[in-house]
Structure 1
Amino acid sequence: MKKAKLFGSLTLLTGVALTLAACGNKSNSEGSNDVKNFKAAVPTKAAKKGGSVKVALISNSPFKGIFSNELSTDASDTEVVAPANEGLFDTTDTYVYNDKGPATIKIDNNAKTATINVKKGVKWSDGKQVTAKDVEYAYEIIANPATQSQRYTSSLANIVGLEEYHDGKSKTISGIEMPDGENGRKVVIHFKQMKPGMTQSGNGFIWESAAPYHYLKDVPFKDLVSSDKIRKKPLFFGPFKVNKVVRGQSVSFVRNPYYWRGTPKLDKITISAIGTNSVSQAIKSHKFDVSQVVNSQWESVKGTKDVNFIARVPLQYSYLSFKVGKWDAKKGKNVMNPNAKMNNKALRQAIAYGMNIEPVTKRYTHGLSFQVPTLVPKQFGAFFDKDVKPYTQNLKKANELLDKAGYKKKGKWRVQPNGKPLVIHFAAMQGSSTQEPTIQNYIQQWHKLGLNVKLAGGRLMEGNSFYDKVQNDDPSVDMLQGMWSLSSEPTQDDLYSEAAPFNFSRFVTKKNTQLLKEMGSQKALNKDYRVKKFHEWQQYMHDEAYVLPMTNGYEVTAVNNKLTGYSVKPSTANALWYDVAYVK
């Protein structure tokens, strides 16, 4: 259900996901026997027309309700409008663009262009054809500083003229051409450089969504994010249209009568937020027709009757990140502070060696979750470096690192090499009932090393509050546990480059910048070279430990067995709700 990656983006995941998904880059055999038997789709049966479906959005925070791909960074916002929110391109199961979606795309390395053709009959839910201007306007929303969109990245700035538009030097984006005019359906995007991975969805260099210019053009850019046209009555071109929004709680949908693929079978869909601790009871009592399973609750729901359990390993991971700098909004880049408390490699590595990630994860998630070794998921095939070994608990090694680096013990706690007290404030989000004991376990392990780690604010944080502090570099946070839902192409620039707002650690090193450049260079159009550089980068990130990959997990979905057409395969994500129906 999380379609964020299909729009060439990545999203923040609020606390629920830390327990929903905690598995990863080891073979499926590491899971329980139940895990091995999961399929990716419910059985295909003859479908009938009509009926309403209730879907659970698992979240411990109200969703923000920013229903714009260009302005939202929250996975819950993407998930809660999924029945309406269709991307421009369909993909294969390995995320390569194909021609089956609302638009086609053709990459020309010699001309340095991407040509997008929107299909005739692809219409917004008010009946207006999706135009070239709608495709171009999405880039305007992202790049106009007045919108304060966090989607503007150095990757998108590879489009000719986008940087000049962002900096206010030009009123138009010179590199986005509409050969048949604004009301035509053809767009040609000109790039400064061609990049490896451009034929794959989620590459970060091509935005994969459109915005309804005719509907939003009268709203000033600075007011877009708070506009009712975004918050209450958004327009999309997917199979359903938004009918009613109950702020932060639910969204209901009715059919989009203009949907280009045909008439959806279902009459109505309602997606409602539910807290993690209520999920298992809701599944057992059939309160929803579709709900994700919280992995720590698997044992209590796995025997539920009249339910099909399907699963996938999503492109996501939880991580531990150390704050070593700040975001400079004026310069649009991360600035590292060499004197930051956490800017000591030995300290970061010792914290990593202090953690017992694998046993704790196994204990609380019944084999549905496991530790991941690197920041590149195994699903990316050759780009994943199987030789990088994850940090496993080694208190002896951790103590040696701290002693050698000058973190001496004074009484119970260690002090900084300069003799000043060392208190580390750790920010983590609320989650399911196992989140608190998991986090407290890690803190206990660090205490064994003499590291005075405390929860920032004294307790687990509500998700929106957590990201507010993390994104704004609140000085009360020294390290944090977060989670990424990733885009479907392995380029790392949008997460870990100098110009990435999402580089929450704020680390900037010459070596990292060099490796990222090499991974996306012209030379990297040769896959062998690119794979080699990806492997070098994963080892470098492992050694420096600015960001420590932790866990990923099977994302299990419980589906009413009276439904057909529901799938978690990547190739079905764009048109999912067109296919879902009740069985005859």
Structure 2
Amino acid sequence: MKTKKILASVGVLTGAALALVACGNKSNTKDNSGSKEAEKFPAKTPVKAVKKGGSINVALETDTPFTGIFEDGLSTSAIDSSVSQFGDESLFAVTDSYTITNDGAATFKLDRKAKTVTITVKKGVKWSDGKQVVAKDLEYPYEVVANKDSGSQRYTGALANIEGIAEYHSGKAKTISGLEMPDGENGRTLVIHFKKVTPGMTQSGNGYFLEYADPYHYLKDVPFSKLQSSDKVRKNPIFFGPYKLSKLVRGQSATWTPNKYYWRGQPNLDKITISVVSPNSATQAIKSHKFDIAEVVNAQWKQVKNTKNVNFVARVPLSYSYLGFKVGKWDSKKGENVMDPNSKMGNKALRQAIGYAMNIDQVQEHYTQGLTFRVNTLIPKQFTKYYNSDLKGFPYNLKKANELLDKAGYKKKGTYRVQPNGKPLTIYLAAMSGRVNQEAIVQNYIQQWKKIGLNVKLTGGRLSEFNSFYDKVQNDAKGIDMFMAAWSLSSEPSPADLYSKEAPFNFERFVTAENTKLLNDIDSDKSFDNSFRVKTFKEWQKYMNDQAYVIPMTNSYEISAVNSKLTGYSTKPSDSNQLWYKVGFAK
């Protein structure tokens, strides 16, 4: 587990809570918070004395080959992050509430008055080729992200807060003036100068600065335009974490062996192999002990719960699945989202009705015993201070859905409704293939929408493969009116990188003055007063639920089946920075 995030401080999930099928027809207004059964699971394996040596097999559950882009500024998939987690260590350690500490590979200091963050790499932190991690390795990732030739999708409005980075991004400057290396490129300190500082900057995953390093000495000869396809990124990446990549079967498996230069010392295991396994095969793999660590498919929990010689470890991740509505386009020249006033999905009542017609609570209780559960806002419950518990989200309510459509002028003409202007209404939904029952999941919702007179069809007539799905959604492909996707979130709760005017990951492409104001306030100097920030967070959640450009759907307990002979495995944030250094076989 890492606090470093993908996709502008977030990552894409293949299947947060994708085990739905048609069922009950009752209205349900409860705010689910998950299974009582899951709550008894520990966050870590039993602590025991550990011995050196041994090999483990880790399951990577996906129905598609992994992309294999092993550079954080270029990666767009949480799956790739799972493959590289054994070597790709974050610069910073964190507390259980994700506050940055100085216990990791680098120290951190925020100077509010000077508007700077100073990052210093510790002496002895070395790449797996033996080279010390230096200041240039801290600075170079910003060049990768901000240089248009690299194709990175992580350049955001938050990063644009760094002095001089916008000029570099536009090609007006050859260097980023706000990145200072006071001891030179081969020193160990980077000072970042900001236009403004925000209260979230002490939290990991805040999006205003990067939390990883790149081996400049290794990558410097590769042009930015060829970096993503380079063997140095795709086949032979190097990291400063506890393990180094020793063998890669592209798209299928990766084998990791100890990094003899690792700054904390020698990790416990001799070898870690992570391999792709279909989610449909995960249950049998757990029961047959094919893997030492494997994620439980929640829909199949009953089938694995009594497996012997396994410790079940659980957490609720910072993530959610959602239904998004396309209401505009990304303008690459301006670097911003632009709304279409004539969008098919531009009517708030239509979007709300679609949300209320989804029978999420009943389906999840039936198929996952509550291990997957409905969420009521776009801020996870784990962010206790900022979470708006007063909101109900979109509980199943067909009567309300029909009333909204009737009032908004979507009249029935036979089986289906027509638009207020009298023209036929067909809504095209893009959704991923993935977890077991995924086909039935989507067909369930299509039938639910038919009950309120909406004609919904799958984009392309079928579910999309993971990589193809996100390619279409990110590039505003034709034939997508709404889409089901998921975010793995940053550990700093600011939603600006996902929903602002300048955020490429605002896939809905909605832009309103009120949304911009609320997001700016959340990250403003005024929000150093935490009571103001809390109030604004809650206002933003209420506003987003009212506007319904994004319908929050579900989150899931992530349950891992861990070989009972292993110790040191943990899902606690404070353990994440040392996780793979500590995992080993018990004596």
Structure 2 runs not aligned, ≥5 long: 22-29
Asked if 1:387 is matched to 2:386, the reply is: no
Using a 3 Å threshold, how does the CA distance of structure 1 residues 3 and 434 change in structure 2: closer, same or farther? Answer: farther
Counterpart position of 2:494: 491
Equivalence for 2:429:
426
Distance in structure 2 (CA, Å) of the matches to 1:325 and 1:418: 20
The 3-state SS of whatever aligns with 2:18 is: helix
**Structure 1 residues 445-484: aligned runs within 5 Å:** 445-484=448-487
**What is aligned with 1:553?**
556
Alignment match, 2:25: none
- Alignment partners' CA distance in 2, 1:267 and 1:513: 50
Match of 1:171 in 2: 174
Letter in 1 for 2:393: P
Pick aligned residue for 1:367 from 346, 351, 370: 370
Q: In structure 1, what residue type is equivalent to 2:383? A: F
Q: Match for residue 31 of structure 1?
A: 35
Q: CA RMSD in A?
A: 1.5
8 Å CA contact 1:6–1:201 kept in 2: the answer is no
* Structure 1: stretches of 5+ with no match in the other structure: none
The alpha carbon displacement at 1:21 in A equals: 12
Q: Distance in 2 between matches of 1:240 and 1:337?
A: 48
Post-superposition shift, 1:205?
0.4
Query: Is the Cα contact below 8 Å between 2:372 and 2:555 reproduced in 1?
Result: yes
Q: 245, 249, 252: which one pairs with 1:246?
A: 249
**Equivalence for 2:319:** 316
Bigger shift: residues 389-398 or 160-169: 389-398
Task: Show CA shifts across 1:22-78 (max 9, x none).
Answer: 9xx9676x4143x12100000011111111110001111111000011100200000
> 1:10 maps to which residue?
10
| Aligned with 2:135 (options 124, 132, 137) | 132
> Is structure 2 residue 46 aligned with structure 1 residue 43?
yes
The answer to whether the 8 Å contact 1:8/1:202 transfers is no
Using the TM superposition, give the Cα deviation of residue 245 of structure 1 relative to its aligned residue in structure 2, in angstroms. Answer: 1.1
The separation in 2 between residues aligned to 1:292 and 1:147, in whole angstroms, is 34
> What is the number of residues matched between the two proteins?
579
SS class of match (1:121): coil
Please point out which of 506, 509, 517 is paired with 1:506. 509
Mapped contact 2:253–2:274 kept (Cα < 8 A):
yes
Contact map agreement 1:3 1:82 (CA 8 A) in 2: no
Alpha-carbon separation, structure 1, partners of 2:348 and 2:183: 55
Q: Which residue of 2 aligns with 1:270?
A: 273
Which deviates more, 430-439 or 190-199? 430-439
Q: Among residues 544, 556, 559, which one is paired with 2:547 in the alignment?
A: 544
Distance change in 2, residues 1:115/1:4 (3 Å): closer
Bigger mean CA offset, 183-192 vs 438-447: 438-447
1:458 to partner: Cα distance = 1.2
Give 1:433 shift: 2.2
Pick closer, same or farther for the CA change 1:476–1:505 going to 2, 3 Å. Answer: same
Give the deviation of 1:3 after TM superposition.
4.9
In the TM superposition, residue 4 of structure 1 has moved relative to its aligned partner by 4.1
1:377 matches 2:377: no
AA aligned to 1:260 is W
The one-letter code sitting in structure 2 at the alignment partner of 1:182 is E
Contact 2:32 2:361 in 1 (8 A): no
- Asked if structure 1 preserves the Cα contact closer than 8 Å seen for 2:8 and 2:153, the reply is no
Distance in 2 (alpha carbons) for counterparts of 1:21 and 1:208: 36
Deviation at 1:366, TM superposition (A): 1.6
Matched, 1:198 2:201: yes
**Amino acid across the alignment from 1:466:** F
The CA deviation string for residues 364-399 of structure 1, in whole angstroms up to 9 with x for no partner, is 112211110000001111110111112112212211
Whole-angstrom CA distance in 1 between matches of 2:91 and 2:2: 16
Contact 2:526/2:532 (8 A) holds in 1: yes
User: How many angstroms apart in 1 are the aligned matches of 2:367 and 2:42?
Assistant: 23
Is this contact kept in 1: 2:90–2:212, CA < 8 A?
yes
Residues 566 and 21 of structure 1: is their aligned pair in 2 closer, same or farther, counting only changes over 3 Å? farther
- Separation of aligned partners in 1, 2:51 and 2:19: 32
- Contact 1:252 1:269 survives alignment (8 Å): yes
- Shift in Å, 1:431: 2.0
Asked if 1:69 is matched to 2:72, the reply is yes
Is residue 580 from structure 1 mapped to residue 550 from structure 2 by the alignment?
A: no
Partners of 2:120 and 2:188 within 8 A in 1:
yes
Letter in 1 for 2:505: F
Q: Distance in 1 between matches of 2:379 and 2:329?
A: 25
Distance 1:462 1:554, change over 3 A: same
Alignment-mate amino acid for residue 306 of structure 1: N
Q: Measure how far apart 1:18 and its partner are.
A: 3.7
- How many angstroms apart in 1 are the aligned matches of 2:187 and 2:62? 40
Report Cα offsets for 1:149-201 as digits up to 9, x if no partner. Answer: 00100001101011111111111110010000000001110000011111010
- SS in structure 1 at match of 2:45: coil
Equivalent pair of 1:8/1:206 in contact (CA under 8 Å): no
Deviation at 1:19, TM superposition (A): 3.1
Q: Which amino acid letter does the alignment assign opposite residue 526 of structure 1?
A: D
SS in 2 for 1:529: helix
SS in 1 for 2:577: coil
Decide whether the 8 Å contact of 2:11 with 2:78 is kept in 1: yes
- The letter for the 1-side match of 2:324 is S
SS in structure 2 of the partner of residue 382 of structure 1: coil
Q: Distance in 2 between matches of 1:403 and 1:285?
A: 54
The alpha carbon displacement at 1:400 in A equals: 1.4
Residue identity opposite 1:173 in structure 2: I
Quickly say closer, same or farther: Cα 1:563–1:483, change in 2 above 3 A.
same
Is the 1:102–1:119 contact (alpha carbons within 8 Å) kept by the matching residues of 2? yes
Look up the match of 2:352. 349
Q: Which amino acid aligns with 2:235?
A: K
Asked if residue 220 in structure 1 is aligned to residue 223 in structure 2, the reply is: yes
1:401 aligned onto 2:379 = no
- Find the counterpart in structure 1 of residue 538 from structure 2: 535
Aligned partner of 2:27 in structure 1 is none
Q: CA deviation at 1:275?
A: 1.1
Q: Residue type of the partner of 2:11?
A: T
**Aligned match of 1:333:** 336
1:405-452 deviations in Å (ceiling 9; x for gaps) = 111111111111111110001111112222222211111110011100
Equivalent position of 2:122 in the other structure: 119
Range with bigger deviation, 267-276 or 403-412: 403-412
Tell me the secondary structure at the aligned position of residue 244 of structure 2.
strand
Pick from 82, 102, 117: which aligns with 1:79? 82
Q: CA deviation at 1:2?
A: 5.8
Contact 1:135 1:187 in 2 (8 A): yes
Contact 1:6 1:87 in 2 (8 A): no
Q: Output the CA distance in 1 between the equivalents of 2:530 and 2:3.
A: 27
Change (3 A) 1:74 1:20: farther
Describe the SS at the equivalent of 1:574. helix
> TM-score scaled by structure 2?
0.97
